[in-house]
């Protein structure tokens, strides 16, 4: 127990499970206005509070990569990841870098999307008014690629990290239904040489009154395509159905069944 968000009130941390080397803890911050402890989340280490710098640090590792995360108070009685120090121990040398983040930036994960042997980071930037940029950043912090998503209907989309034997890729899936038309599409691509290199794609469009509805086989083929890719994917960020969902997490829940279209396919 300690005051993790520096508001003068003691907060709670509980060990989540017993791992091999990291030390995941669940965190709750006391809210002095409601008198209740509010769940913050699970962090991959034990917090070390530094009162002088008004931050706490969490140390964790992934193989030979060691992270020190610095969490500082935000404007909402909580904390945000403000700085991450990364040290990678190689055979002959170690490399170090420091990543810094604003209160509205949420680092999600790392992967080598341009397949040049160095990992990029995926960062979600909350621009306010329910508009978000998903950015793939190089290690120097510059953006290699970005995409705007929003919780208004036209901005609904989901981005996934797809991993197979060839490496990492981005998978975008946008199931879009409006009163007049439906347009479902997915694209799997890398960022090789800094450009979108499409590995596979699929689309399905029709008027939502069902007049030009595709055959059942076309729905099934589209669903097999996207669901097959989702099997090897993790969610990065989604605004589908107007619901904001941050990764990294299982793609479960995003599989396409077209259950909302049963009437159109004559299966109701
Ligand atoms: Ca507190
Ligand atoms: Ca790379």
Distance 115 CA to ligand 2 centre (A): 5
Q: Which among 73, 88, 171 has a CA at the least distance from the CA of 122?
A: 171
C-alpha span between 241 and 202 (Å, rounded): 20
Distance 16 CA to ligand 2 centre (A): 33
Residue 73 near residue 79 (C-beta atoms within 8 A): yes
Distance 244 CA to ligand 1 centre (A): 26
Whether 69 has a pLDDT exceeding 70, the answer reads: yes
Please tell me the number of the ligand nearest to residue 117's CA: 2
* The pTM of the whole model exceeds 0.85: yes
Whether 200 has a pLDDT exceeding 70, the answer reads: yes
Distance 66 CA to ligand 2 centre (A): 19
Please tell me the number of the ligand nearest to residue 111's CA: 2
Looking at residues 213-219, what average pLDDT do you find?
87
Distance 191 CA to ligand 2 centre (A): 8
pLDDT of residue 209: 75
Q: Which among 96, 59, 99, 58 has a CA at the least distance from the CA of 82?
A: 99
Please tell me the number of the ligand nearest to residue 144's CA: 2
Pull the structure tokens for residue 243.
Answer: 């619901």
Distance 123 CA to ligand 1 centre (A): 27
Distance 192 CA to ligand 2 centre (A): 8
Distance 111 CA to ligand 2 centre (A): 7
Distance 141 CA to ligand 2 centre (A): 12
Please tell me the number of the ligand nearest to residue 112's CA: 2
Q: Report pLDDT digits (tens) over 8-43.
A: 999 999 988 777 778 899 999 999 999 999 999 999
Pull the structure tokens for residue 149.
Answer: 């998503």
Distance 35 CA to ligand 2 centre (A): 46
Hey, CA dihedral for 220, 258, 252, 68, is it positive or negative? Answer: positive
Q: Which among 82, 87, 100 has a CA at the least distance from the CA of 5?
A: 82
Q: Report pLDDT digits (tens) over 84-120.
A: 999 999 888 899 999 999 999 999 999 999 999 999 9
Torsion of CA 225, 231, 233, 236, to 10 degrees: 90
Residue 46 near residue 24 (C-beta atoms within 8 A): no
Distance 10 CA to ligand 1 centre (A): 5
Distance 11 CA to ligand 1 centre (A): 5
Whether 266 has a pLDDT exceeding 60, the answer reads: no
Q: Which among 214, 226, 227 has a CA at the least distance from the CA of 261?
A: 214
pLDDT of residue 268: 42
Percentages helix, strand, coil for the chain (3-state, rounded to 5) are: 10, 55, 35
> Which residues are within 8 A (CB) of 165 and not within 5 positions of it... i.e. 6 or more apart?
none
**How far is residue 36 from each of residues 9, 16, 32, 222, measured CA to CA in Å?**
11, 20, 7, 47
N residues, the chain? 268
Three-state secondary structure string covering 39-53: EEEEECCCCEEECCC
Backbone angles phi, psi at 222, to 5 degrees: -65, -45
């Amino acid at each position: 127990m300690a005051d993790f968000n520096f508001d003068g009130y003691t907060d709670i941390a509980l060990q989540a499970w017993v791992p091999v080397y990291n030390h995941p803890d669940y965190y709750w911050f006391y809210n002095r206005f409601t008198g209740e402890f509010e769940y913050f989340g699970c962090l991959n280490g034990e917090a070390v509070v530094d009162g002088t710098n008004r931050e706490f640090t969490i140390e964790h590792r992934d193989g030979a990569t060691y992270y020190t995360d610095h969490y500082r108070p935000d404007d909402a009685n909580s904390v945000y990841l403000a700085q991450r120090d990364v040290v990678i121990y190689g055979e002959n040398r170690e490399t170090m870098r420091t990543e810094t983040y604003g209160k509205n930036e949420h680092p999600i994960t790392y992967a080598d999307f341009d397949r040049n042997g160095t990992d990029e980071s995926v960062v979600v930037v909350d621009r306010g008014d329910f508009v978000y940029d998903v950015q793939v950043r190089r290690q120097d912090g510059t953006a290699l690629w970005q995409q705007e998503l929003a919780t208004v209907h036209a901005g609904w989309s989901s981005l996934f990290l797809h991993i197979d034997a060839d490496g990492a890729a981005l998978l975008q899936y946008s199931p879009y239904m409006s009163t007049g038309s439906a347009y479902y599409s997915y694209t799997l691509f890398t960022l090789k040489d800094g450009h979108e290199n499409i590995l596979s794609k699929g689309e399905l469009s029709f008027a939502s009154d069902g007049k030009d509805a595709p055959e059942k086989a076309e729905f099934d083929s589209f669903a097999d395509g996207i669901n097959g890719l989702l099997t090897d994917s993790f969610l990065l960020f989604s605004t589908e159905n107007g619901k904001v969902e941050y990764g990294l997490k299982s793609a479960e829940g995003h599989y396409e069944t077209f259950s909302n279209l049963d009437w159109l396919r004559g299966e109701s």
